[in-house]
A and B are shown apart, each in its own frame.
Chain A
Amino acid sequence: MATSSTSNVYVHVIEDVVSKVRDEFINNGGPGDSVLNELQGLWELKMMQAGAILGPIDRSAMHKAAPGVPITPNPVHDLNVPYEGTEEYETPTADLLFPPTPLQTPMQTPLPGTARTPLPGTAQTPLPGTADNSSFYNIPTGGTPITPNEYSSALDNGGVPEMKGGAGRPSPYMQPPSPWLNQRPPLDVNIAYVEGREDGERGASHQPTTQDFFTLPSGKRKREDFPPQYHTGGYIPQQDGAGDVLSDDLEVIQGSNTRYDSVNSNQQMFVLGGKLSSMIPQFDGPIPDPYDDVLSTPNIYNYQGVANEDYNIVNTPAPNEIQAATPAPLPLNDTGDDDEDEPLNEDDDDELDDVDQGEDLNTTHLILAQFDKVTRTKSRWKCTLKDGIMHINNKDILFNKATGEFDF
């Protein structure tokens, strides 16, 4: 139900629109005037059925109509053209032309507009899931997808935190990426190392693996699970331990790589100039080529068998901290594990959501306007609106200015 003033405004708008698009309909091979009239008639019919305009439409009040214009809802005629005559006069009213169509709301055609104001429904907010997921997971895409099993074995050092080593160095206990691994075929460590070859290759080759090599008394690694094929004849680079010293013993020991009992020599010999940063071969999964990837993926430590999907852990500090943190959510998850015994309460908020969605158009009170200013002081909100249409209690009310005061 509309007041006469709003009804008048609506009628004015309808006529304004129709008159302005008339050129488009008539010229340039448009559908023609009749289609335009049909459009207007249908539009007005719907408006009357919705109670937004009061019929009969008094067009004489709107514009200086030619005399004799019936007041009944006729198709509008161009004001600039003398009233055309019987043909148009006899145009049946919308009611005659179109039997009252069921007021089914058609699917809202997503007609694109020139301005992309938010369409009915929601504002265009970015999907929270997609936007935030990247921040929740600090795992770069190029990170090392080390499987938990292998990694845990790699890091099995008696529970010592793995993030040792200087800044900028990977944990001495982890498997740094070894790009060089792909560069050379594995050498048989049992072959007596030829010095000349060694010199040439020492700097270049970071001999892969040494499976037994890692059974150091420091207990830092257990490499039993490494395939034996990685026994190479070359030196075995090692990055763990501070004060790695390049030892000339390298040559001596090359021939006896099978003897991995001598810790110190093993530790020393395979460090060449401290440059073997990526010498420790890694066999538990693909190896990220850039060495820095490992550094920048502290989340690798998350792979220690704990499927920690706690999205609240954004930063992953030392793994031991992570391990300490994970037990906290676990008790919470435990209650959810027993689906049969304890409900997840997933549906608790559904009723609340329906409050907003379950209302049909007639009961959805809506105010569409433009805002000049929106301010807030503590929990008191104030806004100034203008040029708005209100649909309240099944009524349409228009306003030129509005002030709002809300308490949050």
Chain B
Amino acid sequence: MATFELYRRSTIGMCLTETLDEMVSSGVLSPELAIQVLVQFDKSMTEALESQVKSKVSIKGHLHTYRFCDNVWTFILQDAQLKSEDFQENVGHVKIVACDSKLLTQ
């Protein structure tokens, strides 16, 4: 089953990657097993986001850059405003990377 490696770039994904890197470098863990862990992370993360998260967010801003390549949209926004029922944030510069949700179901 294909997974989105997208979430490996998140904080949790980076922490996992760093941990695995350290363990592989020190020889405690084999690279193949590390890859399996990452793939499992992809699945678990995707599943958790679907099932455990219920919030809705709106994003507004000035689109500075847009790119669509390999079924991945990359937007760079400036002066973005993110709103949710819980919070509101303003950022001067944010990057959005989005994979096609239909690919997972193929």
Contact = CB atoms under 8 A, between A and B. Distances in A.
A114 B20 contact: no
A376 to B, nearest CB: 8
Given A39-B37, A398-B49, A405 B18 contact: no
B22 A17 contact: no
A404 B95 contact: no
Nearest to A365: B94
Given A20-B40, A21-B40, A370-B101, 7 more contacts: A9-B53, A113-B42, A115-B5, A388-B98, A403-B58, A405-B59, A407-B63
Q: Binding site of B, secondary structure by majority: helix, strand, loop or mixed?
A: mixed
A256 B61 CA distance: 86
Contacts of A124: 69-70
28 contacts: A9-B49, A9-B52, A13-B12, A16-B47, A31-B30, A43-B19, A46-B15, A111-B20, A114-B2, A118-B72, A120-B8, A120-B9, A359-B93, A368-B98, A369-B96, A370-B6, A372-B101, A381-B75, A383-B98, A387-B46, A389-B7, A389-B49, A393-B89, A395-B89, A396-B12, A400-B49, A403-B56, A406-B63
A312 interface: no
Contacts of B91: 365, 392-393
A107 interface: yes
Interface string B44-86: 1111111011111111111100111110111111001010101
Contacts of A117: 4-6, 70, 72, 99
Interface of B: 1-12, 14-25, 28-31, 33-42, 44-50, 52-63, 66-70, 72-77, 80, 82, 84, 86-87, 89, 91, 93-101, 104
A17 B34 CA distance: 12
Q: Chain A interface mostly helix, strand, loop or mixed?
A: mixed
Q: How large is the interface on A (under 10, 10 to 19, 20 to 34, 35 or more residues)?
A: 35 or more
A368 B11 CA distance: 11
Contact of A366 (B44, B52, B86, B97): B97
A119 B5 contact: yes
A385 B98 contact: yes
Contacts of A355: 93
A164 interface: no
A12 B60 contact: no
A9 B42 CA distance: 14
A58 interface: no
Contact of A123 (B2, B33, B72): B72
Interface of A: 3, 9-10, 12-14, 16-17, 20-21, 24-25, 30-31, 35, 38-39, 42-43, 46-47, 50, 52, 101, 105-109, 111-120, 123-125, 355-356, 359, 361, 364-372, 374, 381, 383, 385-393, 395-408
Nearest to B64: A408
B30 to A, nearest CB: 7
A368 B17 contact: no
B48 to A, nearest CB: 5
B55 A398 contact: yes
Contacts of B80: 365
B62 A42 contact: no
